[in-house]
Amino acid sequence: MALAHGSLRPARTAGLTLLGLLPVAFLVVFFAWPVVAIVGRGFSAGGVDTVLGDPQTWRLAGFTLGSAAASTVVALVAGLPVAFLLARVRLPGIGLARTIVLIPFVLPTVVVGLAFRALWPDGGVLPLVLANAFFNVAVVARTVSGLWAHLDPRAAEAARALGASPWRAFRTVTLPALAPAVASAAAVVFLFCATSFGVVLILGGGSYRTLETEIYLRTVDLLDLSGAAALSLLQFAAVVAALALGAMARRRRESAVRLRAAQVTARRPQGGQWYVVTAAMVVLGLLLTPIVALLVESVSTPDGWSFAGYRALAGTGANGALQVTGWVAVQNSLAAATDATLLAMAIGVIASVVLVVLRRSPGLLARGAGETMDAALMLPLGVSAVTVGFGYLVTLDALPGDLRTSPMLVPLAQALVIIPLVVRMILPVLRAIDERLRQAAATLGASPLRVWREVDLPLVARSLVAAAGFGFVVALGEFGATSFLARPDAPTLPVAVATLMGRPGELNNQMAYAACALLMLVTVAAVVLIDRFGSAGEF
Amino acid sequence: MIPRTARTVLGLFTVAVLASACSLSGGDTGGSASSEQQEPTLTLVTHDSFVVPQEVLDAFHRQSGITLKILKSGDAGALTNKLVLTKGNPIGDVAYGVDNTFASRALGEGVFQSYTSPEADRGPQRYAVDTQHRLSAVDVGDVCVNVDTGYFAAKGIPAPTSYDELAEPQYKDLMVAESPATASPGLAFLLGTIAKYGENGWQDYWNRLKANGLKIDSGWEEAYTKDFSGSSGKGPRPIVVSYASSPAAELGEDGKPRTKALLDTCFRQVEYAGVLTGSKHVPEAQKVVDFLLSQQFQTTVAANMYVYPTRTGVELPAGWANAAPLPTASATMPADKIQAGREKWIGAWRSLMGA
């Protein structure tokens, strides 16, 4: 049988092109078109050059990039030991650690912002940087551990046997192999931090502003579309630069490495590894602190402990603060997150498969197309949610069914945020699969389908489940994009929390924290279920 | 080989997309064209704070045959701007929540069409903003400085009562307010000081507040629930910019409020409703405006949204008479003056406060 030794026959190229068009079409309709339309309005209004010429604008840009870079470094330093813990360590309670690390990601920004405010009442740069990192440790831990769990440890062991210190073995053998995942995670975290909104607003205390908060202010409050367009342009340029850097880092280090089934590589830590495990535990402890604090807040009243906030969740809150009960909000969240995850997995997996093929193909054109598509898939993370949301308002009525007010809009917007995460989690694993494994299997007479089933799928399965689970959790907690969109009166849990937080009264405050606790609980349940399902598929 | 793999994946995920499309469309409750002939579904675009008991909506449906779909769209500013952006092809039929700080923008852009509700002469007309009757006043709310009465009783110093006293040394480092750039109570408070001290005097007043240790937060949540000592957060500062109705939510064990609004520091916000230009259900949309001004709906606004009804003779919830009376001498400003000055004032405020 003919093997596709990196070469593509025309028919296959056509099929691949069709397949690749699917994610591209999705991005064009639900991202590029709305963004171009709204930014275009700003341009036609004029005055863009004035904003770009203002030194104030460049200070904003500098602060945005600087603080996002700082948060990314903190998230990497905190996330890598946790990634090691999740990927390589077999100890009781690892499953719990896997769950804990995800919780910060779903917490509503207003809650985390207020929790950090309790520690740093005057706000400032430090709590801002730490809070953004707090949200994103999960991205690093999950993305990197996904690849790490599959790395064959024997290369590092060989280096050790040849006399390398554990650190040197890590630095020269393991780290290069992990580089694509680390670079991917760093790019995602940077984009999340550079465009974070609520945290900056609450902890920046009004005096620290970023491009994102300024775009929001000018779009939503001032309707200064040309000012917003100028800033969006700047943000876009910064994002493209960051993506290009990330792609360069990935390209330099990327190589096919030997992947193994995860369970073989996890073992009890030895010697110096205990330091790393301890560091990971410290990080988990720090992540738990605000979580515990808000649990405490949910049961404390001026008159002592009380579960009144939790009991209130069965109803619609004090004076009907919510329009539906807390439980209905849970259902809304689950439904929207399920839709968003299915969509994002469909688009993300197709995109990843296409990207791997393009990358392996010999033509410069194909590889260039691959690089461009790879970067384009990440862009939604780097563009202001308010830009996308307002873009929907001026474009999506042109589609059949006036999507602007459709309940589909929330899952669509959430999917836009999840797709880059799915791609970044699956792609490193797909790319790292040694082509020779496939060729060997094919030589031994396996059909292409069987090769996929026996070689690719087992190696990718866990990452697929992990990506789906992670995407689901992100969708559960997603607030930014959702809240800017015209949406039906079916509040998700984060929206319910924000509503409750915006009202005076003891009970509403407790109820908001109780709703947060509920959000965490739903997250934990989802993660446990998915992880169980994932390991059941393990061989 | 690889494309075949890809085809398998495509097959698998087409199924997934279809499944998700099914569950997505399952969530759409919009009526079909044929059923809309008899039972129209109208969309009410409103702000995030909108709350109405379901039984009131159900009763409206029984009376009028109109099903009302609620579409929340951010705060008053975001709502107004979304309406402006979509004015050619509106996202709903009626909008409620455009307030007097944004009304001029909406009117200037032709977002609303004329309609005088028969209910308007029961009180709402007092707050009329436009001679063509494109907006009907549904509720009023006052932004006032709130104080933690317990704090001042314990310290043995009288609580402040006026703008000027807030700048006095005995209240140094005790007050927190919101930024007018990012929070609507912050903007209302700024407008209140401009109404009081005038175009030439307000900056001087804010300089005095700044020198007296005024803290600025970006949102009401931080200021009220974290920094204010009279709320659930038990923060360090006993003076906060909030609403005249806030004390009604801070009742102690004995049923008496623990906080108080300073009635000489209030600025009035009026929220309006109107029929959107381009609505395909104009007669029904007018009925929705009638509904918002009706006794039935007006009775719900205080308890649910912490605002006061515009209709006269509507009873307030128990306790409001003591804890949260409607201020009688609130400052106000014509909508077109706010529209003309808003951005200039916010800009000046930002450079003055360094925020």
What average pLDDT does this structure show over B195-213?
A: 96
Q: Are B151 and B160 contacting, i.e. CB atoms less than 8 angstroms apart?
A: no
Distance between CA atoms of residues A220 and B73, nearest Å? 11
For residue A486, the chain B residues in CB contact (below 8 A) are 45, 71, 73, 82, 91
Distance between CA atoms of residues A523 and A457, nearest Å? 26
With a cut of 90, say whether residue B186 has pLDDT above it. yes
Residue in chain B closest to A483 (alpha carbons) equals B74
With a CB cutoff of 8 Å and minimum separation 6, the contacts of A169 are: A156, A159, A160
Residue B319: left (phi > 0), alpha (psi -120 to 50), or beta?
A: left
Distance between CA atoms of residues A464 and A475, nearest Å? 16
Residue in chain A closest to B354 (alpha carbons) equals A207
For residue A449, the chain B residues in CB contact (below 8 A) are 4-5, 8
Q: Does B52 touch chain A (CB under 8 A)?
A: yes
Residue in chain B closest to A15 (alpha carbons) equals B3
Alpha carbon distances (Å) from B159 to A476, B13, B162: 45, 66, 10
For residue B201, tell me if it sits in a domain.
yes
What average pLDDT does this structure show over B98-127?
A: 92
- To the nearest whole angstrom, how far is the Cα of B298 from the nearest Cα of chain A? 15
Overall number of domains in chain B:
2
pLDDT for A57-114, tens place per residue?
999 999 999 999 999 999 999 999 999 999 888 888 888 888 888 888 878 888 888 8
Amino acid identity, position B261? A
Angle, vertex CA A10, rays to CA A7 and CA A16, nearest 5: 80
Instruction: Output the six-digit token pair for A428.
Output: 């490193």
What is the number of other CB atoms lying within 10 angstroms of the CB of residue B185? Answer: 25
Instruction: Output the six-digit token pair for A101.
Output: 């690390």
Beta pairing, strands A304-305 & B67-72: unpaired
List the end-to-end C-alpha distance of chain B, in Å, as a whole number: 60
Beta pairing, strands B267-276 & B41-46: unpaired
Of the candidates A378, A385, A405, A341, the one whose C-alpha atom is nearest the C-alpha of residue A480 is: A385
Q: How many residues does chain B have?
A: 355
To the nearest whole percent, how much of chain B has pLDDT over 70? 89
- To the nearest whole angstrom, how far is the Cα of A504 from the nearest Cα of chain B? 6
With a cut of 80, say whether residue B342 has pLDDT above it. yes
3-state secondary structure of A61: helix
Distance between CA atoms of residues B64 and B57, nearest Å? 10
Q: Predicted confidence band at B282 (pLDDT cuts at 50, 70, 90)?
A: very high
- Partner-chain contact A110 B221, CB within 8 Å: yes
Taking only residues 196 to 235 of chain B, the set having a beta carbon closer than 8 angstroms to any beta carbon of chain A reads 216-222, 224-227, 231-234
With a cut of 80, say whether residue B327 has pLDDT above it. yes
CATH code where residue B241 lies: 3.40.190.10
With a cut of 50, say whether residue A227 has pLDDT above it. yes
Q: What is the mean pLDDT of chain A?
A: 82
For residue B10, tell me if it sits in a domain.
no
- Partner-chain contact B222 A114, CB within 8 Å: yes
Q: What 8-state DSSP symbol labels residue A47?
A: -
Identify whether residues B203 and B340 lie together within a single domain: yes
Identify whether residues B60 and B84 lie together within a single domain: yes
What is residue A261's predicted lDDT score, i.e. its pLDDT?
A: 63
Distance between CA atoms of residues A326 and B225, nearest Å? 21
What is residue A81's predicted lDDT score, i.e. its pLDDT?
A: 95
Distance between CA atoms of residues B129 and B121, nearest Å? 14
CB pairs under 8 A between A and B: 218
For residue B337, tell me if it sits in a domain.
yes
Beta pairing, strands B215-217 & B175-178: parallel
What is residue A320's predicted lDDT score, i.e. its pLDDT?
A: 60
What average pLDDT does this structure show over A23-46?
A: 90
Describe the crossing of helices A273-299 and A55-88 by its angle, rounded to 10 degrees. Answer: 110
Q: Predicted confidence band at B195 (pLDDT cuts at 50, 70, 90)?
A: very high
Identify whether residues B260 and B156 lie together within a single domain: yes
Taking only residues 452 to 481 of chain A, the set having a beta carbon closer than 8 angstroms to any beta carbon of chain B reads 452, 456
More confident residue, A405 or B286: B286
Q: Predicted confidence band at A4 (pLDDT cuts at 50, 70, 90)?
A: very low
pLDDT for A444-491, tens place per residue?
887 777 877 777 777 788 778 878 888 898 888 887 666 666 454 667
**Among B23, B84, B220, whose Cβ lies nearest the Cβ of A335?**
B23
Of the candidates A138, A302, A35, A465, the one whose C-alpha atom is nearest the C-alpha of residue B253 is: A302
With a cut of 70, say whether residue A534 has pLDDT above it. no
Residue B271: left (phi > 0), alpha (psi -120 to 50), or beta?
A: beta
For residue B182, the chain A residues in CB contact (below 8 A) are 201, 206, 213, 217, 221
Q: Does B54 touch chain A (CB under 8 A)?
A: yes
Which candidate in B2, B187, B301 is best for mutational testing of the A interface (most A CBs within 10 A)?
A: B2
Task: Give the helix, strand, coil percentages of chain B, each rounded to 5.
Answer: 45, 20, 35
Q: What is the mean pLDDT of chain B?
A: 87
For residue A349, the chain B residues in CB contact (below 8 A) are 9, 13
pLDDT for A264-314, tens place per residue?
667 788 777 889 999 999 999 999 988 888 888 888 877 788 888 888 887
For residue B23, the chain A residues in CB contact (below 8 A) are 335, 338-339, 342
Q: Are A422 and A349 contacting, i.e. CB atoms less than 8 angstroms apart?
A: yes
pLDDT for B57-80, tens place per residue?
999 999 999 999 888 877 888 889
For residue B109, tell me if it sits in a domain.
yes
For residue B107, tell me if it sits in a domain.
yes
Identify whether residues B273 and B161 lie together within a single domain: no
Q: Predicted confidence band at A316 (pLDDT cuts at 50, 70, 90)?
A: low
Q: Does A505 touch chain B (CB under 8 A)?
A: yes
Residue in chain B closest to A322 (alpha carbons) equals B51
Cβ burial, residue A380 (10 Å; 0-12/13-18/19+):
buried
Q: Hey, which of A195-209, B3-17, B176-190 has the most confident mean pLDDT?
A: B176-190
With a cut of 60, say whether residue B18 has pLDDT above it. no
DSSP labels for A421-478?
HHHHHHHHHHHHS-HHHHHHHHHTT--HHHHIIIIIHHHHHHHHHHHHHHHHHHHHH-
Distance between CA atoms of residues B226 and A263, nearest Å? 47
Identify whether residues B207 and B243 lie together within a single domain: yes
Where does A271-401 have alpha helices with state H? 273-299, 308-312, 326-360, 364-382, 385-395
Distance between CA atoms of residues A283 and A84, nearest Å? 12
Q: Are A350 and B12 contacting, i.e. CB atoms less than 8 angstroms apart?
A: no
**Among B5, B17, B78, whose Cβ lies nearest the Cβ of A353?**
B5
**Among A343, A448, A499, whose Cβ lies nearest the Cβ of B17?**
A343
Identify whether residues B181 and B56 lie together within a single domain: no
Instruction: Output the six-digit token pair for A151.
Output: 């790395």
* Dihedral in degrees, nearest 10, Cα atoms A196, A199, A201, A204: -110
What average pLDDT does this structure show over A228-253?
A: 81
What is residue B13's predicted lDDT score, i.e. its pLDDT?
A: 47
Least confident of A152-161, A522-531, B154-163, B341-350: A522-531
What average pLDDT does this structure show over A202-206?
A: 77
Identify whether residues B214 and B311 lie together within a single domain: no
Instruction: Output the six-digit token pair for A87.
Output: 């990927």
With a cut of 70, say whether residue A224 has pLDDT above it. yes
Distance between CA atoms of residues A173 and A178, nearest Å? 9
What average pLDDT does this structure show over B226-252?
A: 90
Q: Are B295 and B314 contacting, i.e. CB atoms less than 8 angstroms apart?
A: yes
CATH topology of domain A35-289+308-313: MetI-like fold (1.10.3720)
Residue in chain A closest to B304 (alpha carbons) equals A319
Alpha carbon distances (Å) from B108 to A44, A359, B23, B113, B116: 20, 54, 41, 12, 19
How far, in whole angstroms, is CA B328 from its chain's centroid? 20
User: The pTM is what?
Assistant: 0.81
- To the nearest whole angstrom, how far is the Cα of A156 from the nearest Cα of chain B? 31
Of the candidates B141, B133, B136, B132, the one whose C-alpha atom is nearest the C-alpha of residue B122 is: B136
Identify whether residues B227 and B317 lie together within a single domain: no
With a cut of 80, say whether residue A49 has pLDDT above it. yes
pLDDT for A321-340, tens place per residue?
676 788 888 888 888 899 99
- Partner-chain contact A438 B1, CB within 8 Å: yes
With a cut of 70, say whether residue A136 has pLDDT above it. yes
Identify whether residues B257 and B154 lie together within a single domain: yes
Least confident of A482-486, B88-92, B330-334: A482-486
Identify whether residues B151 and B166 lie together within a single domain: yes
Distance between CA atoms of residues A176 and A250, nearest Å? 10
Distance between CA atoms of residues A356 and A432, nearest Å? 10
Distance between CA atoms of residues A416 and A396, nearest Å? 15
Distance between CA atoms of residues B103 and B174, nearest Å? 34
pLDDT for A405-435, tens place per residue?
777 888 888 898 899 888 888 887 888 777 7
What average pLDDT does this structure show over B258-286?
A: 95
With a cut of 80, say whether residue B276 has pLDDT above it. yes
Beta pairing, strands B239-243 & B175-178: parallel
Range of the domain at B250: 142-267+333-353
